[in-house]
Homo-oligomer: A and B are copies of this chain.
Amino acid sequence: MFRTHTCGELRLNHINETVILSGWVQRIRKMGGMTFVDLRDRFGITQLVFNQDKNAVLFDQANRIGREWVIQCKGVVAERSNKNQHLDTGDIEIIAIELIILNESKIPPFTIEDDTDGGDDLRMEYRYIDLRRNAVRRNLELRHLIALEVRKYLHEFQFLEVETPVLIKSTPEGARDFVVPSRMNPGEFYALPQSPQLYKQLLMIAGFDRYFQIVKCFRDEDLRADRQPEFTQIDCEMSFVEQDDVLNIFEGMMKHLFKEIHHMEMSPFPRITYADAMRLYGSDKPDLRFGMSFVELKELVSGHQFAVFDAADYVAGICASECSTFTRKQLDELTEFVKRPQIGAKGLVYIKFEADGSFKSSIDKFYSSEDLKGIANAMNAKPGDLMLVLAGETKKTQKALSELRLEMGNRLGLRKKNDYAPLWVVDFPLFEWDDETQRFYAMHHAFTSPKPEDISLLKSDPGKVRANAYDMVINGVELGGGSIRIHNSELQHKIFQIMGFSEEEAQFKFGFLMDAFKFGAPPHGGLAFGLDRIVSLFAGLDSIRDCIAFPKNNSGRDIMSGAPSPIDMNQLKELNLKIEVPEE
């Protein structure tokens, strides 16, 4: 037997018991004739004591072991004279009577501490050592727990978890599909799913009623900090539902997670239309942990000979409470911030509503104190507040003001990791117009249902049609989204027409799903959540990478294993493939 207890288990009530522990050597402290070893496993740390006077041979043996060696120690539990309040096992220690070295260890390339001295690349190369750190392991424990609670909740509501295939049909739309050559079918390929969308709709047609799956999805695209070539979705679909049914079930799921994981009772999630989200926050994933919603000022500020405002399609501002004391330097930094190319504003107008009731602004030349007072009123500003105003083309300016709002939230410490502000964004537009290809694209996907009351606009003004589509957003992160699907084939064809596909093209693109729709498709809808994002949110991480056991880097490479890598010529030949890398 390697152990009678884990390293996190022993307490005062175990005193005088003879126990066996196994684990890794976290730390060794030598103090004269005493050697103290902190023994670590997943469950905690326990102090072992080796006393030269009691057993000189054992003491010598203990002095030869090193950091991260794996040892097994038999000993007697004793009360510590010097208790450690920071450890669950801090009331006791083990007086060693036997030591077995199970395995030695080379000196690890970085320290196994919450604040390690290892850089990102080193940590990724030795991920199996990095995973020994509490800070990383806890994220994966949390991930396990979240997945389990999601499953329990959905099972309670009669969802069935159904595994859909990983080796699926490649579609001509799937430009970002990973493909897999088939040895048995020369020249043919499977694709890895970007999502199980078609299969979950088939399961609804199959009468499964409520489906979910926690499932790996794949996308072969350039990676950003929060993207991975393989990622995990909580994929869900329901039959005989309207939008509210879906929202209620999954709001319930998220509340269940908050309750089980963080012991928080959440209030009902606000539901905000896409139009309002854009109007008030310039974003379809607003961070509602703080206010500073937009106030549109175009009408109020026009006609004052200030060309910037007069020429702008859109003028709007945010009001930062108690920030009239911002210095010149702080305001310059904010101006620099909005002028960065990725934000792209031309400049920033500020209006300080001083504590004494006076105004100081960058547009004093054009606006009287009375004018500024009017703006302050419109913005609900109080003495001591700072107003920040941007102007320009509507969409671009909304986006820039949204970024400025988030930056202010950061600067003012209003985006606290332990605050959670969830909401639903609903009524997304059905289509997005693409200037380049001069056609409409489905904003969510081609099967998304328009709002019934907007169907009449499909012909006259497709860009205005709203969809039964929704996103769940928490703290400015889109955690999931979905839609009610079209189950009526006549309506589906109308939508395809607007998107410019012929029936043949639709058949070619969506083939077997289009066939399936002919055999009695029920009304249905669903959504998918990003599990990686949910775990990151609950763990308070900035990147999804540390909630993934073995993540890949920005080039899609696993530094530890060296994947991807060249393969054998014979294997290529068996697959009927030849590599042709074009010369640079």
Contact flags A226-244 to B (C-beta < 8 A → 1, else 0): 0001101000000011100
A523 within 8 A of B: yes
Q: Is the CB of A163 within 8 A of B103?
A: no
Q: Does A225 contact B (CB under 8 A)?
A: no
Contacts of A126 in B (CB 8 A): 519
Does A161 touch B at the CB level, under 8 Å? yes
A88 to B566, CA, bound (A): 60
- Asked whether any CB of chain B lies closer than 8 Å to the CB of A178, the reply is yes
Contact A129 B519 (CB under 8 A): yes
| Known contacts A179-B567, A207-B132, A560-B512; is-contact A523 B169 (Cβ 8 Å) | no
Task: Tell me which residues across on chain B come within 8 A of A511, comparing CB atoms.
Answer: 561-562
Q: List which A8-34 residues lie within 8 A (CB) of chain B.
A: 22-24
- Residues 185-214 of A, flagged 1 when their CB comes within 8 A of B and 0 if not, give 111111110000011001101111100000
- Chain B: CB-nearest residue to A130: B206
Q: A141: CB under 8 A from chain B?
A: yes
A178's nearest neighbour on chain B, judged by CB, is B180
Contact in complex: A206, B577 (CB < 8 Å): no
Q: Are A557 and B240 in contact (CB under 8 A)?
A: no
Given A516-B128, A522-B102, A566 contacting B148 (CB threshold 8 A): no
- Asked if A157 is an interface residue, CB under 8 A from chain B, the answer is no
Chain B's closest residue to A532 (CB) is B163
Main secondary structure of the interface of A (DSSP, over half): loop
A579 touching B582, Cβ below 8 Å: no
Instruction: Give the segment of A37-45, A303-311, A336-344, A471-479 that binds chain B.
Output: A37-45
Q: How far is the CA of A557 from the CA of B163 in the complex (A)?
A: 17
Q: How far is the CB of A196 from chain B (nearest CB, A)?
A: 10
Copies of this chain: 2
- In the complex where A148-B155, A169-B558, A563-B190 touch, is A577 in contact with B578 (Cβ < 8 A)? yes
How many chain A residues touch B (CB < 8 A): the figure is 123
Cβ contact within 8 Å between A70 and B576 = no
Q: CB distance B564 to A190 under 8 Å?
A: yes
Which of B70, B230, B556, B566 is in CB contact (< 8 Å) with A520? B70
Contact A518 B186 (CB under 8 A): no
**Chain B residues closer than 8 Å to A131, beta-carbon distance:** 203, 206-208
Query: Which residue of B166, B172, B179, B240 is within 8 Å of A166 (Cβ)?
Result: B166
Chain B residue contacts of A160, Cβ below 8 A: 140-141, 144
| Of A155, A189, A511, A575, most B-chain CB atoms within 10 Å | A189
* A105 located at the interface, meaning its Cβ lies under 8 Å from any Cβ of chain B in the complex: yes
Stretch with Cβ within 8 A of B (4 or more), from A90-98, A215-223, A381-389? A215-223
Give A192 to B346 CA distance when docked, in angstroms: 49
A-B residue pairs, 4 tightest by C-beta: A105-B520, A131-B206, A169-B563, A2-B240
